[in-house]
A and B are shown apart, each in its own frame.
Chain A
Amino acid sequence: MTHIDEAPQSTEPEKAVAPNQGRAKKLPTRDRATVITMVAIPLVLVLLLVWLPAMLSVVLSFGKWNGFGDLGTIEWVGVQNYKDIFTIYPAFWPAVKHNLIWLTFLFLLPTILGMLLAVVLDREMKGSRLYQTAFYMPVVLSLALIGFIWQLFYSRDQGLINQVFNSEVDWYGDPDINLWAVLVATAWRHTGYIMLIYLAGLKGVDASLREAAAVDGASEVKTFFHVIFPVMRPINMVVIVIVVIESLRAFDLVWVINKGRNGLEVIGALVAQNVIGEATRYGFGSALAVIMMLISSIFITIYLRTVFREERNR
């Protein structure tokens, strides 16, 4: 191991665009083995535990299987599972509706509030740090725990809300309102999270731009829409993807409350119900999983394209 790579390469100025281009070809065997191992171990892990199961979910979605027998006991039924989901599975359409409500709500309230908070707290303001801390503290808590904490407000007999208003509403139990109760609890965490993302992004806004706008006599609102908002465009993209995927994945809160039934059906919980519930219907559950996967893959693609554009721009 005396001389590894080579100086000659640096004498070719044409390659300066990507300085490390092509180096690898000249790696000695031992180093090449090192590089392969360094990539292979993590890659095998992610392929085995994420990508292989993802593909198997697709395969299983075309069969009927209770999961107890071996693979031979799978009865292949084509798209029957999907047909059943769309036509006779009573929980599916409510779940879709709830996921959509979840999405809309997250966008309209916590996301916009988080953005506004970021814009305001990004300014010079007394105690800005302190306020920021207050808003993003819930971000470190798990949603399962948040469901627990909000029980203190929502409990029918002992909850704060009913005590203050002298009411007898079962906030987590009443199927007409429990979704909204859950959404408020989610918003508590989500707002600070969005705020944090925008705060980070706003650091990239050139202060002089804003000053120039102020000198020109642009109002606060105008400055926001014409100076700040455009700079935040790549962040907006990320936020959209986050909100969509987070709404799609909604699970923890509803599972802690009632395992996703009785007004709290969401797609993520339906999948789990079909695997660890009373009835194990692997094919059916897989079909639900594939539906989730298809929706998310659209947004994953958007996300990766944004990332890779950034990568290429570097």
Chain B
Amino acid sequence: MSGIDSVLVATVPPLGDKQAPPKRKEGGVLSKRRGALVTVIIALLALAWLFPLLWALINSFREYEYTQANGYLSFGGWTTSNYEQAWTQGNFGLHMKNSLLITVPAVVLTLWLSSMVAFVLARFSYRFNLALLGVFLAANLLPPQALLIPVFRMFREIPLPYFMSDSGSMLNSFWALILVNTAFQMGFCTFVLSNYMKTLPYEIYESAELDGASVWRQYWQLTMPLVRPALAALATLQVTWVYNEFFWATVLIQQGDKLPVTSALNNLRGQFFTDTNLVAAGSIIVALPVLVVFFALQKQFVSGLTLGSTKG
């Protein structure tokens, strides 16, 4: 699951000039009786939505023998051994490291490259601007399966020196995943960033020019610091998306020890199949990094998704 999320708002009206919208009045209050009914329904639904994760959390701490003997509707048999077992059996230390080595470079590269394109789109009005944006945005939406065969075959042919990948080719290397993820994610980031940059007052560039600042300095020293909020929000989103990316990792990495966490799940399923409590512990381990990101940076996450969608 990489790209599609990114379609998100890319079309919704972009940020207006006002950066900090005045506090909006919410959409009115419901009549009391009906309000109470709606609140109850929403609360129940919200509980239902939380339940799967809670259920996984609870059972990840229970002994297999206990739940086998007493059923899952019982209470007791608490243990932490599922986590130890899942961690070693699933080799999560290795896979987490792989995910890290793929996600961080991919996100940095995506943000860097797309901020450059976005800067050019926002700073200059070339005739090809719209077409350029289209090339990146459409790429973001193409089903990855549609490109699989040529990409797969190309990567097999591209040799990499052994210090870059011990597979000797792009296939089975982190480089492949970093580049593919970057190529796919640039569209969304370019779009969001260029819209954000367009809200910066044009005068800053005029005075920068008077000071003799080169285009590169206008980009790196003037624009980039000003778009930091957008970069932070996008970074949060991209980290979760690249971490969650499943398709490319599954098809481009065939060496089990090179798989990132999300795709490694597929192998684990066989090993854990007979023990649901292990599945639960494994799920929580895999979910933990993104949940931490989510709770720590919730604001960034949501604003990243909705960036450009509020009229301000």
Inter-subunit contact B46/A134 (CB<8 Å)? yes
Inter-subunit contact A248/B143 (CB<8 Å)? yes
How far, in angstroms, from A192 to B302 measured CA to CA in the complex?
12
Contacts of A268 in B (CB 8 A): 143, 145
Is B265 at the interface (CB under 8 A from chain A)?
A: yes
Inter-subunit contact A54/B46 (CB<8 Å)? no
Inter-subunit contact B12/A234 (CB<8 Å)? yes
Inter-subunit contact A292/B149 (CB<8 Å)? no
Inter-subunit contact A142/B141 (CB<8 Å)? no
Contacts of A153 in B (CB 8 A): 52, 55
Give A226-260 interface residues, CB cut-off 8 Å to B: 228, 234-235, 237-238, 241-242, 245-246, 248-249, 251-252, 255-256
Inter-subunit contact B306/A199 (CB<8 Å)? yes
Give B189-208 interface residues, CB cut-off 8 Å to A: 190-191, 198, 202, 205-206
Contacts of A249 in B (CB 8 A): 3-4, 143-145
Inter-subunit contact B287/A300 (CB<8 Å)? no
Smallest beta-carbon distance A13→chain B, Å:
15
Which chain A residue lies CB-closest to B128? A39
Is A204 at the interface (CB under 8 A from chain B)?
A: yes
> Residue-by-residue, is B131-164 near A (CB-CB < 8 Å gives 1, otherwise 0)?
0111111110111111111111110000000000
Assuming A140-B294, A144-B263, A144-B265, is B55 touching A160 (CB within 8 A)? yes
How far, in angstroms, from A211 to B24 measured CA to CA in the complex?
13
Give B236-250 interface residues, CB cut-off 8 Å to A: 240, 243-247, 250
Smallest beta-carbon distance B305→chain A, Å:
6
How far, in angstroms, from A123 to B190 measured CA to CA in the complex?
33
Smallest beta-carbon distance A207→chain B, Å:
4
Report the interface size for chain A: residues with CB under 8 A from the other chain: 132
Contacts of B183 in A (CB 8 A): 45-46, 48-50
How far, in angstroms, from A282 to B147 measured CA to CA in the complex?
12
Chain B: number of interface residues, binned into ranges: 35 or more
Is A85 at the interface (CB under 8 A from chain B)?
A: no
Residues of A within 8 A of B (CB): 1-5, 10, 18-24, 27, 30-31, 34-35, 38-39, 41-43, 45-54, 56-57, 60, 67, 117, 119-127, 130-131, 133-145, 148-153, 155, 158-160, 163-164, 188, 191-193, 196-197, 199-205, 207, 210-211, 214, 220, 228, 234-235, 237-238, 241-242, 245-246, 248-249, 251-252, 255-256, 267-268, 271-272, 275-276, 282, 285-286, 288-290, 292-293, 296, 299-300, 303-304, 306-308, 310-311, 314
Known: A149-B287, A204-B13, A271-B148. 5 other contacts (CB 8 A): A4-B213, A137-B49, A145-B286, A237-B11, A255-B250
30 CB < 8 A contacts A-B = A2-B212, A31-B214, A38-B119, A45-B186, A49-B147, A53-B154, A54-B142, A54-B150, A120-B38, A120-B42, A124-B27, A131-B46, A135-B49, A137-B50, A137-B53, A141-B244, A144-B262, A149-B287, A151-B269, A152-B56, A152-B276, A164-B73, A200-B9, A203-B24, A207-B26, A207-B27, A249-B143, A251-B246, A288-B145, A292-B146
Residues of B within 8 A of A (CB): 1, 3-5, 7-14, 21, 24-30, 34-35, 38-39, 42-43, 45-47, 49-50, 52-53, 55-56, 59, 67-68, 71-73, 113-114, 116-117, 119-120, 123-126, 130, 132-139, 141-154, 179-180, 182-184, 186-187, 190-191, 198, 202, 205-206, 209, 212-216, 219, 240, 243-247, 250-251, 254, 262-263, 265-266, 269, 276, 279-280, 282-283, 286-287, 290-291, 293-294, 298, 301-302, 305-306, 309-311
